[in-house]
Amino acid sequence: MAGNGAKSSYWRGVRDGMPFILVLIPFATLFGVAATEAGLNIVETLAFSVVVVAGAAQFTALQLMTEQAPTLVVLASALAVNMRMAMYSASITPHLGGLPLWKRAATAYCLVDQSYASAVLDYEQRPDQTPDQKFAYFFGVCTPIIPLWSVFTLIGALVGEAIPPELGLDFALPIAFVAMIAPALRTRAHVAAAFAAVVGALAFAWLPWNLGLIVGGLAGMAAGAEIERRMGA
């Protein structure tokens, strides 16, 4: 019974993960292309994606290394971009914290924007799932997307500069993220959080090492939580 529940959760996850393939293919390919242009060979490019599994941080690190920034600055900036992952980790801990260590470690490796976003929405909509069903769902979302991240990085490295820059591929990431956020703006608290985050990030964009992202993110979380508290939700 529990097995069947986990199975249906898994397949629901796979289904929910599929659409992200459309986002991931251009984004991963773009990283492969960018890394090749920066002088990385195929092994180095692929290793980057397999080991780090975080597009925005990979782009940040690559960009800063190309600009010959000090190694410490490269690492600090890329990790600052990934600071949100710690927040994701904290956010899904109430759902998955009871699982065995290896499952939590596997979840941590696969915890990216898309798998996190899908999982929190699913856990909110179906609160009575068991931790195993929740893990199955998470793993389902990851099945079509995590391996493809590396595969299309590799393809990007192989096709190199064959893609015309006029297509505005650089904008795949912003478009994809906006498309993910917009449907999640369900309440006034969500809208306030997003708005405060945007204002904060833009106002503090001058901060070094991508700290504007952290300031904006914290401002947004505070705004959302405060509105929720006042509405007594």
Partner 1 sequence: MIDRAELWLVIVVLGLGSFGLRFAFLGLVGDRPMPPWLLRHLRYTAVAVLPALVAPLIVWPKATGGDPDPLRLAAAALTLAVGYTSKNVILAMLAGATVMVAGAYWSF
Q: Which 130-159 residues touch partner 1, going by CB under 8 A?
A: none
170 binding partner 1? (CB under 8 A): yes
Helix (H, G, I), strand (E, B) or coil at 98: coil
Per CB under 8 A, which of residues 81..100 are in contact with partner 1? 81-94, 96-98
Residue 147 CA to residue 14 CA, distance in Å, equals: 13
The distance of closest approach from Cβ of residue 160 to partner 1 in the complex, given in angstroms and rounded to an integer, is 17
Look-up: residue for tokens 């991240």? 149
116 binding partner 1? (CB under 8 A): yes
And the tokens for 181?
């956020």
User: Residue 69: which H helix or E strand, with range?
Assistant: none
Contact with partner 1 (CB under 8 A) among 6, 24, 57, 145 = 57
53 binding partner 1? (CB under 8 A): yes
Contact with partner 1 (CB under 8 A) among 14, 148, 155, 185 = 185
Maximum Cα interatomic distance, the chain, rounded to a whole number of Å? 56
Pick 7 or 147: Cβ nearer partner 1 = 147
Helix (H, G, I), strand (E, B) or coil at 34: helix
**Which amino acid makes up residue 226?**
E
Neighbours of 58 (CB within 10 A): 24
Based on DSSP, count helices (H) and strands (E) in the chain, helices before strands. Answer: 12, 0
User: Residue 172: which H helix or E strand, with range?
Assistant: helix 172-181
14 binding partner 1? (CB under 8 A): no
Q: Which stretch binds partner 1 (CB under 8 A): 1-9, 32-40, 145-153, 154-162?
A: 32-40
Contact with partner 1 (CB under 8 A) among 14, 25, 42, 47 = 47
Q: Which stretch binds partner 1 (CB under 8 A): 4-12, 141-149, 150-158, 172-180?
A: 172-180
And the tokens for 112?
């990216």
Per CB under 8 A, which of residues 198..227 are in contact with partner 1? 198, 200-202, 205, 212-213, 215-225
126 binding partner 1? (CB under 8 A): no
Pick 8 or 63: Cβ nearer partner 1 = 63
Look-up: residue for tokens 């986990």? 6
Cα 98 off chain centre by: 23
